[in-house]
Amino acid sequence: MATVLAISSHAVRGHVGLNATVPALMHLGHEVWPLPTVVVASRPGLGHLVKHELPAEDLAAMLSALEADGCWASLGAVLAGYFPSAKGVLAAARAIASIKAVRPDLPVLIDPVVGDAGRLYVPQPTAQAMRDALLPMATIATPNLFELSWLVGSDLKQPAEVVAGARRLGPPTVVVTSAQQTACAVATLLVDKDQYIERQMRRRDDVPNGAGDLFAGLFLGHWLNGCTSAAALDAGLADLDRVLAASAGREVLALAALDQGHLSS
């Protein structure tokens, strides 16, 4: 079991952000310290978008309090996802730097949640801060194809271009979600300095948001449990597919399917 500091968004209704990554990590036996950068009443596209952003100063103060309490030595990993502002990204980057001063080999997963479907949905300075301040600290990054293209400044379409872009991104291990899509399948691509692995998963169109957040937590959780990156990819995708199959036509992801798979294994 590892203790994971998870910094991202939180939705009261809808399994996106921390409301997806935290259950995934806990399902796999890890303790999670969730720190929300913003709280929304419902996930985007579901109900009224009422949100409260945690000011960057308050985020920095909470992280400083954890450091002052001597918590950094207890951590087994850090996961960072959505930030509403560049200042928030920089506050997290400073904290991760201080954590790595105590734990130099600490794994850090950065899920650079900056956009999808051809557009940024955070301010450009926030996306730039994610690229310049957080990604250089990452052990693992889990961008979708649009995010990878934006972060490396190239329109990546062919598989060889995606592999080259993932290696330019910087982190030792990059998992590109929705790397290729057809009418029937979605490809996920794992790239490191020695290999690249492509996995095809059945495309399921009638499912709610949150698959990327859920997969980031599953991949990290399996990796922390001793899986190789390839094995973590396969196990994470199997868990994800089980949830997506159970979620068809629903408003939120059916995360109870994670435990059903555990009970049947």
Interval 135-184: pLDDT, tens: 999 999 999 999 999 999 999 988 899 999 999 999 999 999 999 988 89
- Count of structural domains, the chain: 1
Average pLDDT, the chain: 93
Give the model's confidence band at 264: pLDDT under 50 very low, under 70 low, under 90 confident, else very high. Answer: very low
The pLDDT assigned to 263 comes to 42
User: Got the DSSP string for the chain?
Assistant: --EEEEEEEEEEESS-BHHHHHHHHHHTT-EEEEEEEEEEEE-TTSS---EEE--HHHHHHHHHHHHHTT-GGG-SEEEE---SSHHHHHHHHHHHHHHHHH-TT--EEE----EETTEESS-HHHHHHIIIIIGGG-SEE--BHHHHHHHHTS---SHHHHHHHHHHH-SSEEEEEEEEE-SSEEEEEEE-SS-EEEEEEE---S--S-HHHHHHHHHHHHHHTT--HHHHHHHHHHHHHHHHHHHTT-SS--THHHHHHHHH-
Q: Please report, for the domain that includes residue 214, its CATH number.
A: 3.40.1190.20
- Quote the pTM value: 0.94
The pLDDT assigned to 53 comes to 94
Residue 188 lies in a domain: yes
Residue 253 lies in a domain: yes
**pLDDT (tens digit, 9 = 90+) per residue, 14-50?**
889 999 999 999 999 999 999 999 999 987 777 788 8
Residue 265 lies in a domain: no
- 185 has a pLDDT exceeding 70: yes
Residue 7 lies in a domain: yes
- Owning domain of residue 101: 3-260
Residue 37 lies in a domain: yes
The pLDDT assigned to 50 comes to 84
Residue 112 lies in a domain: yes
Residue 128 lies in a domain: yes
